[in-house]
Amino acid sequence: MAERATVSFTGSRWRLAGILIFGYILMLPTLGIYRFWQVTAKRRFYWANTEVDGDTLEYTGTAIQLLVGFLFALAIFLPLYGFFFYLSTQSPEALIYGYTGAALLLFFLSGYAIFRARRFRLTRTLWRGIRFHQSGSAWGYAFRRFLWFAVTAATAGLAYPFMAASLWKYRFNNTWYGDRRFSFTGSWRTIAAPYYIVYFLIVGLTVAIIIISAPQMEQELAAQGVSREVLTGYLAMATAFIAFFSYFYLLSRFTSRLLSSVSAGTAALKVHVRARSLFWQYFFYGIMLLVVVLAFLVVAGFVFQGVIEPMLADQEIELNEILQIGWYNLLLLGLLYLALMASLTVLFETILGLGFWRLVARGAVIENADSLKGIRASGEESPLVGEGLADALNVGGY
């Protein structure tokens, strides 16, 4: 019997906002330490509210594990930090080579970190009392990712579908639910059509703009009664329009098609995310962003008028005295800055982060879900060495 199971998401934006804001407030007296508890609470919220075929996910990780992971990551970063320090005392050429090399190294390391972080989260995810886990080598993944990015950059983006398919394959062919291995059945063809259509449309339009801007084209166009400026304007507008909307189109197609190529045995995931739903989410986010930034500008204006301007009006006071006497003003400014950063993150998380998760969840079904019932437990929580790296490099995601 082919049974279709659905996925649903029941978490509310307000509840997530509450978790995040509470976390940010506690980060002040704890000098940032609370961030590990905040992340853990956030993950628990996402996991516990995601219901797959009637059973919710459970996140079993703890904040202390993240804290320990961070300390391990520090051990990797300390020598790197020492290297940066040494570099800063070198000649300008050495500086350029050194920083380029370090940037490449960090990019390579972030591949490693992403894979380890994925394992950390998978091995701390329970569904129906059975754990997910991940095989494969993080160095192998980092190496693949690095080479594929190099190839994609060298081919001006033409190799992107091949890279996506290769990396997804590596990730999912190494993903397990209990003793059942996932597989990724897609290939570069999975996303080739949408990707290349958009790619060549934009390249074509750009080439057209370059061609008509050639000096000899002016007369030819004029002979046909077309103004070059107007034509260039139209073409540029069309390019911008396509580039803007193709973002939502591509994001929806990539998400839907790549996730729909994932299966575990005979059970297969099918996801459908609409470009239009994504667009409205970003639209809503844009408006809210505007509101928050304006609100902050107003507050900052009041602070400036109330505190700094009267001091400037007093000619006796030197500028540097304001900062030396009024350190609490500086503190206020710092708090305002932190509050702005926190608000922007909360906005992003509650609208785009949660929105995307919910769209994927609601757009997903599992075909032949009954075949998952015989799966037996296997695997255990991954050790912590190297896990905090993703948080330190800020490539963790959820």
Partner 1 sequence: MQLLGKYYDGLTANPRTVTCSIQGTEASGFLEITDLELNHEVAHWPQGSLFPVPGKSGELRLASTSAPEGARVVFSDREIAARARGELPMLARHRQKHTRRQFRIIGLSSMAIASVVLAYIYGIPLLAGQVVGLIPPEMETRFGEKIVVQMADALEESGGLTLCDPDPESLPNRAIQRFTEAALEGTYAPFDVSVQVVANSIPNAFALPGGRAFYFQGLLDKTETADEFAGVLAHEIGHVVHRDGMKQLIATAGTGLLVGFVLGDITGLSVAGTVGAALINTSFSRDAEREADRFSLAVAQRRAFEPTGLADLLERISDDDASAQIFALLSTHPLTQERRAALEEINPLETAAIPAFSEEEWQAIKSMCSTRGTGKRKNKGRDRR
CB of 145: closest distance to partner 1 in angstroms? 20
Q: What angle do CA 386, 392, 395 make, to 5 degrees?
A: 95
Q: Which residue, 230 or 323, has its beta carbon nearer to partner 1? A: 323
DSSP code at position 28 = T
Between the alpha carbon of residue 17 and those of residues 26, 33, 121, 313, 343, the distances in Å are 14, 19, 22, 41, 10
46 binds partner 1 (CB under 8 A): no
Q: Which residue, 112 or 148, has its beta carbon nearer to partner 1? A: 112
Of the ranges 22-30, 137-145, 201-209, 274-282, which one interacts with partner 1 (CB under 8 A)?
A: 22-30
70 binds partner 1 (CB under 8 A): yes
Spatial distance between the Cα atoms of 275 and 5, rounded to a whole number of angstroms: 23
Count of residues making up the chain: 398
Spatial distance between the Cα atoms of 56 and 342, rounded to a whole number of angstroms: 29
129 binds partner 1 (CB under 8 A): yes
- Residues between 169 and 228 with contacts to partner 1, criterion CB under 8 A: 177-178
AA identity, residue 397: G
313 binds partner 1 (CB under 8 A): no
Q: What angle do CA 335, 338, 65 make, to 5 degrees?
A: 125
SS3 279: helix
Of the ranges 32-40, 112-120, 219-227, 360-368, which one interacts with partner 1 (CB under 8 A)?
A: 32-40
Q: Which residue, 49 or 239, has its beta carbon nearer to partner 1? A: 49
Spatial distance between the Cα atoms of 94 and 117, rounded to a whole number of angstroms: 33
Q: Tokens in use for 45? A: 């919220």
372 binds partner 1 (CB under 8 A): yes
Residue selected from 35, 42, 118, 358 as contacting partner 1 according to rule CB under 8 A: 35
Element containing residue 267 per DSSP (H, E): strand 267-271
Q: Which residue, 24 or 160, has its beta carbon nearer to partner 1? A: 24
> Could you tell me the sign of the dihedral formed by the alpha carbons of 94, 96, 102, 108, in that order?
negative
79 binds partner 1 (CB under 8 A): no
289 binds partner 1 (CB under 8 A): no
77 binds partner 1 (CB under 8 A): yes
Spatial distance between the Cα atoms of 279 and 227, rounded to a whole number of angstroms: 34
CB of 77: closest distance to partner 1 in angstroms? 5
Per the DSSP assignment, residues forming a β-bridge with 288 are none
314 binds partner 1 (CB under 8 A): no
Q: Which residue, 39 or 271, has its beta carbon nearer to partner 1? A: 39
Residue selected from 153, 312, 330, 332 as contacting partner 1 according to rule CB under 8 A: 330
> Could you tell me the sign of the dihedral formed by the alpha carbons of 155, 161, 162, 165, in that order?
positive
Q: Which residue, 205 or 267, has its beta carbon nearer to partner 1? A: 267
Binding site for partner 1 (CB under 8 A): 10, 15, 26, 29-35, 37, 44, 48-49, 54-56, 58-60, 63-64, 67, 70, 74, 77-78, 81, 85, 89-92, 95, 126-131, 177-178, 318-321, 323-324, 330, 334, 337-338, 341, 372-377, 391-394
